[in-house]
């Protein structure tokens, strides 16, 4: 699935306050990814909107500790506010401004961490390099690349110009605090998704002499799609599921491989829109639902594989339908099952929440089954947005 921008980027700024509220881009829906970047002084952003997770930040030992760029992402749920407030309680201490950029994306993976930051660079006293060096790097995941450049100047509010084809500027804003501090920040994205391979950063020129600047390069990782030429096997709902094993998104600091099933079956489903193959699609906007208080889902792999971790994501509504107790089981004939992991009294605290579970397993199995033995109290139905298995 190609990654597309949702709406247009929004910005917000304050010359001397400690909190900035930025408007949500138009058209945002459940499962979309919000990506925010902000610049301020050395203050931590200590007040964040609910659900935002840090991507990375500048301000290491090689800068003067008076300038910081930070990025965050959020996987959108079914109900989002009209704006998001970012606060840095110490920003006022040196009279520095705050500037925030917010973008929204569709088609990104929304399991675990959908954003990988590739590099973070910082330069002090950058007057000799108004255009950043277009550094080469290696992209390891499929997705949409982004490049954020932010600057501090004592002469004028910085703005930016892109000199590289295949990249577009999505937002550019800055603020003057009224003293000698002026901050600017801009967000650039590649014009299309790219795959793994050698790449080069865009060459971005700043409009004014900078005392400090920072760059953050990253990738919005694409949701799983069949590779070109990959054969597919129909599931119970006759929807193709790719028979491939591919690089998985990072959850915390652990990166492993995702097994994509060649067939999906279940004890029950709610066709045509809430079927079992939607558990493997990596899309928070879809879900599987069964009108039962207990249920099971079975994945058949193209060949036996060793599963050592799995991720479950709660659906968009009705938390009492969440799984509460379950077993992860493996089999090589689809009839005799070994129990690999048992969970009881598990609670998903929010909608669209992904939870990762490690499994102590060294045996390759052809089939894996999630056997839900109790839901969270609903007397009618059980549901789940995604169930992904890793090895």
pLDDT in tens, the chain (391 residues): 578 899 999 999 988 788 899 999 999 988 789 999 998 876 677 789 998 988 888 764 444 446 788 899 998 887 899 999 998 876 545 567 889 999 999 887 655 668 877 777 766 555 545 777 778 888 877 789 999 999 888 888 999 999 889 999 999 999 987 777 789 999 999 998 887 788 888 999 888 888 778 888 888 887 543 332 222 222 333 333 333 333 333 333 333 577 888 889 999 999 888 999 889 887 777 899 999 999 999 999 888 999 999 999 999 889 999 999 999 999 999 999 999 999 999 999 888 888 889 999 999 999 999 999 999 999 999 999 999 998 8
Q: Is the peptide bond before 272 cis (omega within 30 degrees of 0)?
A: yes
For the chain, what is the domain count? 2
Distance CA 133, CA 340 (A): 51
Looking at the structure, do residues 190 and 241 belong to the same domain, yes or no? Answer: no
Strand blocks (E) in 88-131: 98-106, 115-124
Q: Torsions phi, psi of 94, nearest 5?
A: -120, 15
Looking at the structure, do residues 104 and 237 belong to the same domain, yes or no? Answer: no
User: Half-sphere exposure of 112 toward its Cβ, with a 13 Å CA cutoff?
Assistant: 25
State which residues form the domain around 302.
232-390
Q: Which of 89, 70, 86, 105 is nearest to 12 (CA)?
A: 86
- Count Cβ atoms within 10 A of the Cβ of residue 263 and give its class: 0-12 exposed, 13-18 middle, 19 or more buried: middle
Q: Is residue 226 part of a domain?
A: no
Which of 191, 221, 251 corresponds to the end of one domain?
221
Q: Is residue 386 part of a domain?
A: yes
Looking at the structure, do residues 92 and 178 belong to the same domain, yes or no? Answer: yes
Looking at the structure, do residues 329 and 351 belong to the same domain, yes or no? Answer: yes
Q: Is residue 79 part of a domain?
A: yes
Looking at the structure, do residues 158 and 52 belong to the same domain, yes or no? Answer: yes
Looking at the structure, do residues 210 and 272 belong to the same domain, yes or no? Answer: no
pTM of the predicted model over 0.85: no
Looking at the structure, do residues 24 and 120 belong to the same domain, yes or no? Answer: yes
Q: How many CB atoms lie within 10 A of CB 214?
A: 27
Q: Is residue 227 part of a domain?
A: no
Looking at the structure, do residues 119 and 250 belong to the same domain, yes or no? Answer: no
Q: Which residue has the tokens 């964040």?
A: 48
Looking at the structure, do residues 155 and 257 belong to the same domain, yes or no? Answer: no
Q: Is residue 331 part of a domain?
A: yes
Distance CA 159, CA 150 (A): 9
Q: Is residue 164 part of a domain?
A: yes
Looking at the structure, do residues 241 and 125 belong to the same domain, yes or no? Answer: no
């Amino acid at each position: 699935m190609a990654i597309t921008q949702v709406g247009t980027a929004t910005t917000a700024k304050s010359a001397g306050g400690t909190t900035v509220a930025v408007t949500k881009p138009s058209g945002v829906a459940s499962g979309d990814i919000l990506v925010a970047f902000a610049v301020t002084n050395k203050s931590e952003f200590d007040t964040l909107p609910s659900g935002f997770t840090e991507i990375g930040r500048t301000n290491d030992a090689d800068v003067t500790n008076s300038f910081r760029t930070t990025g965050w992402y959020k996987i959108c749920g079914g109900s989002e506010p009209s704006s998001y407030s970012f606060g840095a309680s110490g920003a006022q201490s040196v009279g520095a401004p705050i500037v925030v950029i917010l973008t929204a994306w569709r088609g990104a993976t929304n399991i675990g961490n959908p954003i990988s930051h590739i590099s973070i660079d910082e330069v002090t006293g950058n007057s000799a390099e108004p255009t950043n060096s277009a550094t080469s790097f290696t992209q390891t995941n499929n997705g949409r690349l982004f490049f954020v450049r932010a600057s501090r100047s004592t002469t004028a509010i910085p703005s930016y110009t892109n000199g590289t084809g295949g990249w577009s500027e999505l937002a550019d804003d800055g603020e003057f605090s009224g003293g000698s501090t002026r901050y600017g920040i801009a967000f650039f994205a590649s014009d299309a998704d790219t795959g793994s391979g050698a790449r080069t950063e865009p060459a971005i020129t700043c409009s004014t002499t900078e005392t400090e600047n920072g760059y953050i390069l990253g990738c919005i990782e694409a949701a799983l799609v069949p590779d070109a030429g990959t054969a597919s096997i129909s599931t119970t709902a006759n929807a193709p599921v790719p028979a491939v094993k591919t690089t998985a998104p990072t959850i915390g600091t652990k990166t492993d491989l995702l097994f994509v099933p060649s067939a999906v079956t279940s004890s029950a489903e709610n066709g045509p829109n809430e079927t079992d193959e939607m558990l493997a699609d990596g899309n928070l906007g879809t879900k599987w639902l069964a009108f039962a208080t207990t249920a099971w889902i079975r994945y058949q792999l193209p060949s036996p594989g060793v599963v050592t971790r799995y991720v479950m994501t709660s659906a968009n509504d009705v938390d009492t339908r969440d799984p509460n107790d379950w077993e992860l089981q493996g089999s090589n004939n689809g009839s005799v099952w070994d129990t690999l992991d048992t969970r009881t009294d598990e609670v998903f605290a929010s909608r669209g929440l992904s939870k990762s579970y490690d499994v102590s397993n060294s045996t390759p199995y052809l089939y894996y089954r999630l056997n839900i033995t109790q839901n969270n109290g609903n007397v009618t139905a059980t549901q789940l947005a995604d169930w992904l298995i890793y090895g």
